[in-house]
């Protein structure tokens, strides 16, 4: 199942979620009406009732209507409140559980290790680096990813995961979470939070009324009213368990199989099954439990079970730990880690070593075991271009490999210290972004420096020029990874600050009265990242490429002119897409606004319609299996605008995907 099929499956699961939600609402409304009817009957005088008719049939219709409207209002209100609360995406979920944002300049060694792993995986995946959070009060081993799209995601881990897992194990856990990020699972998870908030609200109202009744007045005349409040609250609290039950059913229905898929994706990502296997084993021996009050509500999002097992195994949001380990390592792998734990325990028995240390030793031995698959490290092509195939590139979408991880690791190692420090500071990260745009010299460079000085101040201008020199050794291929590293800090800035920065970026681009391909790439990614707020993800508006033929013609024309390709490739490409009759746009017709508008509409394509478009774009830029770094950057910008994570295009990619 490729990336686009996973996206389609995630949306299909949304349909299942809605169906189960409707069943839950119906059950709750029916139960509330029964309570409303019983309350009316309890208060009714004998003279109001007839012994010849059924009791429920004598309840006035307004009572049922009131019960129905009250239940629907509570469910809708609870869901709407939570959806609005989480509308800002992944960061909002992390903050809801009280997690702390880990800044890039953190001096904590465990946090720096976590940041490094997340940065490596983000660069390897072709997405901007997610915001990283830590739940300091949680000692269980757990983690979750949240957000509506890969480019505004957040990754949250517990303090227990930081302290008890070695690097390979933590990398396995983060690889699992990146699978959820890349496959669209996060969007479904966040929407599920909104749905469940509504159906469990009735129980919360019941608890409130029970508390009112329990603390009622001691006066005899008022005690009866307090008892009624308590009994009504008790009934609503019991009804609330219907919401909890259906919440578990919904979460279990959409999450269990995804956990197996994410485990497998982590192994493919890291080529180290022992990493995630060791993490799962430690969780099985200790715990992944969460004490936070949102543990049940977010149980479907965590790496492992955050609450106790359900009374029915079918309601568990996660598969059994042993089953997950067997799928990752096989029976022999499970026996191996058990033997390592026993050996470590026997060696430590006479020395009084705590069990946590024994488990850590077992995990370290596991990480030191030989990997089941080896790989040759790939090399990035030089200025002559990149040699690969469109099939290999398509296979890498949402499926980064060890080659991509190695590339990301080398990029981070080669990053100049001055750039690394600048990305970790509020003013410095702005200078890094501007440095990516500063021209190599001449009048344009002086003009740009003057613009920066007027808009951001002399200190930022001086730092920008210094960073521009520091970035030169990275070459063209290092520009996008630096941008990916800078984006999270830039997104922390307020909306007015982001608008001001985008305006300055636009002015710098126009300083030399031309727009290079990289400048187009940079401003496209920046606009996609922080020009506006997250509003619940991207809807599907178009089901086929035929619905957006004009927009596709604009993008294909852009690729033809940017890559200096033969104009006749346009007709062939459009014909293969079933869009014959479109005309090649001339450069004068390809202004930034026109291209931006086209990309926005193409973003609304259904997941299964996007592969044909991306394949067509690749056929234009690499007809002989070669493309330049500039063309690769342009493809990255187009894919980013389509919410399609494209890893760095490596010249050994075709060889690796055939292994």
Residues 225 and 179 in one domain: no
Region 518-543: what's the mean pLDDT? 75
In this prediction, residue 658 carries a pLDDT of: 40
Residues 316 and 464 in one domain: no
Residues 283 and 168 in one domain: yes
In this prediction, residue 354 carries a pLDDT of: 43
Instruction: State phi, psi for 371 to the nearest 5 degrees.
Output: -70, 155
Per DSSP, the three-state class of 296 is coil
In this prediction, residue 443 carries a pLDDT of: 64
Residues 507 and 552 in one domain: no
Instruction: State phi, psi for 386 to the nearest 5 degrees.
Output: -120, 130
In this prediction, residue 395 carries a pLDDT of: 81
Residues 170 and 202 in one domain: no
CA distance 56 to 34: 8
Highest mean pLDDT among 205-214, 349-358, 512-521: 512-521
The per-residue pLDDT for range 366-425, each reduced to its tens digit, is: 334 333 322 222 223 334 567 777 778 888 887 888 888 888 999 899 899 999 989 988
Among 392, 29, 363, 404, which residue's Cα sits nearest to residue 164?
A: 363
CA distance 635 to 614: 9
Region 79-105: what's the mean pLDDT? 87
Per the model's pLDDT, the better-predicted residue between 211 and 357 turns out to be 211
For 55, the token pair is 């009791």
Beta bridge partners of 542: 605
Residues 293 and 156 in one domain: yes
Per DSSP, the three-state class of 45 is coil
CA distance 655 to 659: 7
Please report where in the chains the tokens 């002559």 appear, as a residue. 384
pLDDT at 350 over 50: no
In this prediction, residue 96 carries a pLDDT of: 92
3-state helix, strand and coil shares in percent for the chain, rounded to the nearest 5: 70, 5, 30
Quick check: is 177 catalytic?
Answer: yes
In a domain, 77, yes or no: yes
H/E element holding 230?
helix 220-270
Q: Is 62 exposed, middle or buried (0-12, 13-18, 19+ CB in 10 A)?
A: exposed
In a domain, 560, yes or no: yes
**CATH number of the structural domain spanning residue 136:** 3.30.2010.10
Q: Is 157 exposed, middle or buried (0-12, 13-18, 19+ CB in 10 A)?
A: buried
Among 556, 652, 626, 610, which residue's Cα sits nearest to residue 394?
A: 610
Region 495-511: what's the mean pLDDT? 88
Residues 232 and 286 in one domain: no
Burial 323-357 (b: 16+ CB within 10 A, else e): ebbebbbeeebbebbeebbeebbeeeeeeeeeeee
Alpha helices in 355-401 (DSSP H): 355-368, 390-396
Lowest mean per-residue pLDDT among 146-160, 547-561, 616-630: 616-630
In this prediction, residue 59 carries a pLDDT of: 81
pLDDT at 535 over 70: no
| pLDDT grade for 172, boundaries at 50, 70 and 90 | very high
For 622, the token pair is 């690499």
pLDDT at 532 over 80: no
Region 500-508: what's the mean pLDDT? 89
Average pLDDT, the chain: 80
Per the model's pLDDT, the better-predicted residue between 344 and 177 turns out to be 177
Which residue in the list 169, 177, 274, 633 is annotated as catalytic?
A: 177
Q: How far is CA 179 from the centre of its chain?
A: 9
Q: How many CB atoms lie within 10 A of CB 476?
A: 13
Among 443, 417, 306, 20, which residue's Cα sits nearest to residue 191?
A: 20
In a domain, 374, yes or no: no
Residues 473 and 518 in one domain: yes
The per-residue pLDDT for range 234-257, each reduced to its tens digit, is: 887 888 888 878 888 888 877 777
Whether the CB-CB separation of 509 and 501 falls below 8 Å is answered with no
Alpha helices in 97-153 (DSSP H): 109-125
CA distance 212 to 25: 26
For 284, the token pair is 């099985």
Whether the CB-CB separation of 510 and 591 falls below 8 Å is answered with no
In a domain, 375, yes or no: no
Beta bridge partners of 135: 158
CA distances for 298 relative to 294, 346, 450, 469, angstroms: 6, 38, 50, 46
In a domain, 566, yes or no: yes
pLDDT at 154 over 90: yes
| pLDDT grade for 304, boundaries at 50, 70 and 90 | very high
* Residue at a domain's end among 241, 257, 273: 257
Longest dimension (CA), the chain: 99
| pLDDT grade for 4, boundaries at 50, 70 and 90 | low
Lowest mean per-residue pLDDT among 205-214, 323-332, 335-344, 411-420: 335-344
- 271 is in which domain, residue-wise? 102-190+262-365
In this prediction, residue 343 carries a pLDDT of: 59
For 155, the token pair is 């990754």
Residues 393 and 421 in one domain: no
Residues 578 and 637 in one domain: yes
pLDDT above 70 as % of the chain? 81
Pairing mode of beta strands 626-627, 386-387: antiparallel
Sorted by sequence, the CB contacts under 8 Å of residue 206 that are 6+ apart come out as: 232, 233, 234, 235, 236, 237, 238, 239, 240
Burial 190-205 (b: 16+ CB within 10 A, else e): bbbbbbbbbbbbbbeb
In this prediction, residue 373 carries a pLDDT of: 27
In this prediction, residue 349 carries a pLDDT of: 44
Residues 462 and 575 in one domain: no
Region 303-312: what's the mean pLDDT? 77
* Residue at a domain's end among 482, 504, 528: 528
Pairing mode of beta strands 154-158, 131-135: parallel
Instruction: State phi, psi for 399 to the nearest 5 degrees.
Output: -135, 60
Region for residue 98 given its phi and psi (left: phi exceeds 0; alpha: psi -120 to 50; beta: otherwise): left
Per the model's pLDDT, the better-predicted residue between 111 and 208 turns out to be 111
In this prediction, residue 296 carries a pLDDT of: 84
Residues 432 and 484 in one domain: yes
In this prediction, residue 557 carries a pLDDT of: 92
In a domain, 471, yes or no: yes
Supply the pTM of this predicted model.
Answer: 0.79
Whether the CB-CB separation of 522 and 504 falls below 8 Å is answered with no
In a domain, 96, yes or no: no
In a domain, 379, yes or no: no
Region 332-343: what's the mean pLDDT? 63
pLDDT at 503 over 80: yes
Region 430-434: what's the mean pLDDT? 93
Per the model's pLDDT, the better-predicted residue between 643 and 146 turns out to be 146
| pLDDT grade for 355, boundaries at 50, 70 and 90 | very low
For 397, the token pair is 């979408």
In this prediction, residue 382 carries a pLDDT of: 39
Our count of domains for the chain comes to 4
H/E element holding 83?
helix 61-85
In this prediction, residue 160 carries a pLDDT of: 96
The per-residue pLDDT for range 34-79, each reduced to its tens digit, is: 888 887 877 775 556 566 567 777 788 888 898 899 889 888 888 8
Whether the CB-CB separation of 197 and 78 falls below 8 Å is answered with yes
In this prediction, residue 79 carries a pLDDT of: 86
In this prediction, residue 374 carries a pLDDT of: 25
Residues in the chain: 659
Sorted by sequence, the CB contacts under 8 Å of residue 115 that are 6+ apart come out as: 102, 104, 106, 132
Among 556, 595, 561, 599, which residue's Cα sits nearest to residue 575?
A: 556
* Residue at a domain's end among 467, 496, 528: 528
């Amino acid at each position: 199942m490729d990336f686009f099929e996973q996206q389609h499956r995630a949306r299909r699961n949304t349909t299942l979620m809605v169906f189960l939600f409707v069943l839950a609402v119906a059950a709750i409304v029916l139960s509330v009406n029964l309570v409303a009817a019983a309350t009316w009957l309890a208060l009714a005088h004998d003279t109001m009732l007839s012994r010849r008719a059924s009791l429920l049939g004598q309840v006035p219709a307004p009572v049922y209507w009131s019960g129905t409207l009250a239940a629907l209002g509570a469910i809708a209100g609870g869901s709407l409140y939570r959806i609005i609360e989480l509308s800002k995406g992944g960061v909002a979920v992390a903050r809801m559980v009280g997690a702390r944002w880990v800044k890039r300049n953190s001096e904590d060694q465990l946090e720096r290790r976590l940041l490094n792993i997340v940065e490596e995986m983000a660069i390897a995946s072709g997405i901007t680096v997610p915001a990283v959070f830590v739940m300091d009060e949680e000692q269980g081993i757990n983690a979750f990813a949240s957000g509506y799209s890969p480019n505004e995601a957040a990754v949250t881990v517990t303090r227990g995961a930081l302290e008890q897992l070695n690097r390979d194990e933590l990398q396995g856990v983060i690889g699992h979470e990146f699978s959820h990020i890349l496959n669209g699972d996060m969007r479904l998870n966040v929407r599920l939070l909104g749905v469940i908030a509504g159906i469990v609200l009735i129980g919360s109202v019941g608890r409130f009324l029970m508390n009112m009744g329990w603390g009622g007045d001691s006066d005899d005349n008022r005690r009866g009213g307090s008892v009624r409040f308590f009994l009504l609250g008790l009934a609503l609290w019991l009804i609330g368990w219907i919401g909890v039950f259906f919440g578990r059913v919904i979460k279990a229905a959409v999450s269990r199989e995804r956990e197996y898929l994410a485990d497998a994706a982590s192994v493919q990502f890291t080529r180290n099954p022992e990493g995630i296997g060791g993490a799962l084993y430690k969780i099985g021996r200790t715990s992944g439990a969460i004490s936070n009050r949102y543990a049940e509500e977010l149980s479907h999002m965590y790496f492992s079970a955050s609450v106790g097992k359900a009374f029915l195994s079918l309601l568990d949001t996660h598969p059994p730990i042993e089953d997950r380990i067997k799928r990752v390592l096989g029976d022999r792998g499970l026996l191996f880690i058990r033997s390592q734990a026993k050996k470590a325990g026997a060696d430590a028995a006479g020395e009084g070593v705590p069990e946590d240390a024994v488990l850590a030793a077992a995990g370290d031995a596991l990480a030191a075991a030989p990997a089941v698959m080896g790989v040759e490290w790939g090399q990035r092509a030089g200025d002559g271009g990149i040699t690969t195939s469109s099939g290999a590139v398509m296979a890498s979408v949402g499926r980064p490999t060890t080659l991509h991880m190695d590339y990301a690791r080398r990029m981070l190692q080669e990053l100049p210290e001055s750039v690394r420090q600048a990305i970790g500071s509020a003013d410095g990260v702005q200078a890094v972004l501007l440095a990516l745009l500063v021209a190599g010299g001449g009048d344009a460079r002086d003009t740009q420096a003057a613009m920066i000085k007027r808009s951001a101040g002399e200190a930022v201008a001086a730092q920008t020029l210094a960073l521009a020199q520091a970035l030169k050794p990275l070459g063209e291929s290092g520009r996008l990874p630096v941008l990916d590293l800078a984006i999270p800090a830039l997104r922390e800035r307020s909306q007015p600050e982001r608008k001001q920065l985008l305006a300055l970026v636009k002015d710098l681009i126009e300083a030399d009265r031309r727009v290079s391909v990289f400048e187009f790439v940079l401003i496209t990614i920046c606009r996609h990242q922080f020009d506006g707020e997250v509003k619940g993800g991207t809807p599907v508006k178009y089901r086929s490429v035929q619905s957006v033929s004009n927009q596709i013609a604009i993008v294909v024309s852009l690729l033809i002119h940017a890559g200096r390709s033969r104009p006749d490739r346009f007709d062939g490409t459009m014909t293969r897409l079933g869009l014959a009759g479109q005309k090649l746009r001339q450069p004068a017709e390809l202004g930034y606004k026109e291209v931006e508008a086209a990309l926005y509409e193409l973003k609304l394509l259904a997941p299964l319609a996007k592969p044909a478009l991306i394949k067509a774009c690749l056929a234009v830029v690499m007809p002989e299996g070669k493309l330049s770094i500039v063309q690769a950057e342009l493809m990255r910008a187009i894919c980013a605008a389509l919410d399609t994570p494209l890893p760095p295009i490596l010249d050994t990619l075709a060889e690796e995907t055939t292994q």
